[in-house]
Structure formats: C-alpha cells, structure tokens
Amino acid sequence: REQHIRREKATSNICTAQVLLAVMASMYAVFHGPQGLKAIAQQVHRKTVLLAKGLEKLGYKVEPETFFDTITVEVGHMQGLVMRAAVAEGVNLRKVGETKVGIALDERTRPATLEAVWRAFGGKYKVSEFEADYRLPTDLLRTSEYLTHPIFHMNRAESEMTRYIRRLSDRDLALDRAMIPLGSCTMKLNATAEMLPITWPEFSDIHPFVPADQALGYKEMIDDLSEKLCAVTGYDAISMQPNSGAQGEYAGLLTIRAYHLSRGDTHRTVCLIPTSAHGTNPASAQMVGMTVVPVKSKDNGDVDLDDFRAKDVVVVGGGDSAVDWALAVAPLARSTTLVHRSKFRAHERSVQQLHESPVTLYYPFYEVKAVRGSTWLEEVVIHQTRTGEERVLPAQALIIAIGFAADLGPLKTWGLTIERNGIVVDPHTMSTGLPGVFAAGDVAVYPGKFKLIATGVAEAITAVNHAVVHLDPSARLDAGHSTAVMEKRERATATTS
C-alpha cells in the first residue's frame, strides 16, 4: 500500500514473500493466544536455564547473567574439541570468536539434546538432576496485558482455525477464484503438489548455518538445478538465493548498476519506470541509488511515447543508438538535446538527418557532470572538458546510449577459455586454448593489454602469421615491423638488379 502511494519514496520494497512470513507469524499468535505463547516462551527459557546450570556445574562460565533462549560459554583453547564432540553427539554449536561457543534453544529442544550437549562438554548429567528457575532481565518483564482482541481468545480447535482463515480469504481476491494484479509472483507458479515437499523434514529441518559437509544433498540438488536452468535459459550462471519478485528486481538493478560502474559510467543513474509498474519497481530503483523517472503507460500497458511530448529530453552518446533515439524523440519532446564527447560514429546519413533536425547538439568534448532533482529528474549538468564551461539543461528524461557489450554467442560453446567476456590468448602468438583457433582485437584477452586500434592491428598481424605456420609448418615466420620488411624488399630488389 505504501509503495503504490509513495512510489519511489517508499521506505522498503517488501512484497508477498516477506508478507507471507508475517501472516504466518500472526496466525501462530491467533492459534496459541497469549497464554499459549507465554507457556511456550517459559518452556524454552527453563530449558536454557537447565542447560546453563549443568555447564556451570562443570566449571564453565556462562554469559550473560540474564538471558532468554541463547547463551555463550567460555571454553578457552578447548573450542575446537568441544565443537567436534558436539557434532559427534548430533549437535551443532556456534563458534564465537576464538574461545567461546554459542548455544540457542527453541520449543523443539528435547531433554535428550541437553544431555548430549553436557556430554560434549565432558559431563554426564540427567535433566532430572537440576531444577529450573528464571534468569530473565527483571526490567524487561511485561506487566501489562497483550493480545487482548477477542480473536486471540477463540476456540483453538484446528477446524475452527481453518474456518477462520477461510473467512479471511473470502474477503479478498484469491488466486483460486480470480486473477489478481499484484502480490502473485511468489505463489502463482507453485502447485500444491510442488509445495508439499517443503514440509518434509529432509528439506525443512536443516539449519541454514550448518557446515557444508552436512548439506551435501542440498548442494547436489542446487548444482543439478542450476546446471539445468543454465542449459534451458542460456545464462552463464543462476543465483539460487531465495528471491521474491521484489528481491529479484533489487538483485537485477544491483547487477545493472555494477556493470555501469565497472565501465566507469558513474553518471548512468536514471531508471525509466512506467507508471503502471508494480509498486516495488520504483522502490527497488531508489534503494540502489537510482533516480526514478516515471513514464506514462497506455491503456493496453504499452509505454506511452506521447508522454515525452511534455518533456525536455537529453540523449547522451554518439553512435547509431544515440542518434536514432534523438531522431525518434525529437518530434515528440518539447526539446531534445544530444550530448557527446567526441565525433559522431553513427551512419553518415543518420548524422546528416541529425544536423537537419531540431535537436540541439553539444559536441565534441561535452560530458554529463551531474543530474539534479528533488523528487524527479529536473536538470542535467554538462561540461566542456577542454574549457571547463558548464551548462545546465532542463530535463525530465535522460537517455543514455553509450558503449556496447560484446556477445560471444556460440563461441562460448567451443571450449575456449572465456574471461571478462573475452577469449584468453597467448600474447606472443594470439593462439587460444583450442588448437588452430586464433583471436585478435577487443575479443582477445591477456594480462597488461591496452585496448587501442593500433594494438588490435598488431594482434591481427601476429595471429595471421602464426595461423599460416599452423596450416603449413614448413612456412618460415619472419618477426619484424613494417620498416624492416620494406628495407628487406629494397635490398632484395637491389641484389636482383
């Protein structure tokens, strides 16, 4: 609700995946009520006190003096020994620093588990030997009533709870009755048959911090699924981090931002988002530090290019993409300005049309220095790199069309060594790891390379020469530069004459 009202000023991008957890927690409180929650909490705390008493009897220092369900034990140089002994008992302890271990209990902790922990520390006690008391911080004890609404005091039979949940679902649009426009990403693709295995203890009972050697089955399952997803999608890698739709947006925007920063494009911080987009879209964009510029949508959901009519548009770049953008937007926008730091690299005819159009041109040696705006994009600051002159351009839309990403396409499947989206070569021969295959130019990668036109030309000559020798091992390879070749030819001509 906040996201759809405040859009990019929303304070978080949470969506259904997080809300489901909150709903589950609230239903837990509804089912148990205040008395049930208190009884569970007391049970957990008493078991923690029993554990602490046993450890103190063994001579260990337990911290802190007051606690709820988690304690830290000072074990000194015995940390590794104690943790290994606990694993042998079927219990994982948490390493804290170099001399302590942490232990946390919950409502499912059994008396046998307490006795196993004591054995790991060198004690052979029974739970019945100790009497539980309270070690809660007295200044935090609650004295007022809580969960006083009648719903928390309902008949807690399972059938009644089921009816109550159904009544709530009937008051809203449900996926089993209608299409809902939002909040459906998390659930809509998962059938009940697919969700049931989540409840199996083989999946659900593993702790997220267990050592890797205790989660080999998970790793095998994740690796197998990743491999199949990469094969289906063509991606280089798949992230298995549990993502809601909003977290997926956030991860994608972080990747986009990191890509721009890796290329030095620090000014590419504007994100165009249709006004019809999900509320998490602008929230996610502002969370990664982008400036959100809303673009209106048509009734059918398409981006409304006519919305640019009321905008001052600044296009950055000098290639075909930038020129095409400027020419396309110029008839629609209130004003269109093209900024470029060098000569135009676009097709000659496109450049001619650009000069004949109403687009205002700032080139060469002009770059974007800053973008400004309190809520939306309002101004773009450009400066002349030679003179230092600055200009402030009004702008409600900024289109960045500079640079390109090389696509290796099917070359990725050849068995070549790929690094930084290029092919690793031997700089002395320009040969790849695949016999008979040579690479030169921007696609060739090796330590210390400078991406210059002259470098690419030299690499091409080297690659061709060594390719000839590969095809005909009897061919002689003469190392040298163009001047040396000319001198050799002149001497040969003089001798012949």
Domain holding 332: CATH number?
3.50.50.60
Residue 288 lies in a domain: yes
Tell me how far apart the alpha carbons of residues 46 and 136 are, in angstroms, rounded to a whole number.
10
Q: pLDDT tens for residues 167-191? A: 888 887 766 677 665 555 555 567 7
Q: Is the pLDDT of residue 231 over 80?
A: yes
Of 186, 218, 243, which closes a domain? 186
Please give the residue that has the higher pLDDT: either 157 or 492.
157
Residues 394 and 414 in one domain: no
Count up the domains in the chain and report the number. Answer: 3
155 Cβ contact list (under 8 Å, min separation 6): none
Residues 393 and 418 in one domain: no
Residue 147 lies in a domain: yes
CA dihedral sign of residues 282, 283, 285, 286: positive
Q: Is the pLDDT of residue 258 over 70?
A: yes
Residues 280 and 388 in one domain: yes
Tell me how far apart the alpha carbons of residues 214 and 200 are, in angstroms, rounded to a whole number.
17
Please give the residue that has the higher pLDDT: either 167 or 492.
167
Q: pLDDT tens for residues 366-391? A: 888 888 887 677 888 999 888 988 99
Q: pLDDT tens for residues 402-425? A: 765 556 766 777 788 888 778 899
Q: pLDDT tens for residues 391-402? A: 999 888 788 777
Q: Which helix (H) or strand (E) holds 63?
A: strand 61-63
Q: Mean pLDDT for the chain?
A: 83
Count helices and strands in the chain by DSSP H and E runs: 14, 16
Residues 177 and 29 in one domain: yes
Q: How confident is the model at residue 485 (pLDDT cuts 50, 70, 90)?
A: very low
Residues 421 and 396 in one domain: no
Q: What length is written for the chain?
A: 497
CA dihedral sign of residues 283, 284, 290, 292: negative
Residues 133 and 9 in one domain: yes
Residue 200 lies in a domain: no
Tell me how far apart the alpha carbons of residues 333 and 174 are, in angstroms, rounded to a whole number.
42
CATH of the domain at 180: 3.90.1150.10
Residue 49 lies in a domain: yes
Residue 357 lies in a domain: yes
Residues 344 and 413 in one domain: no
Residues 25 and 68 in one domain: yes
Residues 415 and 297 in one domain: no
The whole-number average pLDDT for the span 224-245 is: 86
Q: H-type helices in 338-399, by residue range?
A: 348-356
16 Cβ contact list (under 8 Å, min separation 6): 183, 184, 185, 186, 187, 244, 245
Residues 278 and 136 in one domain: no
Q: Is the pLDDT of residue 10 over 80?
A: no
**What is the residue range of 148's domain?**
1-186
Residue 442 lies in a domain: yes
Least confident span in 252-261, 274-283, 314-323, 355-364: 274-283
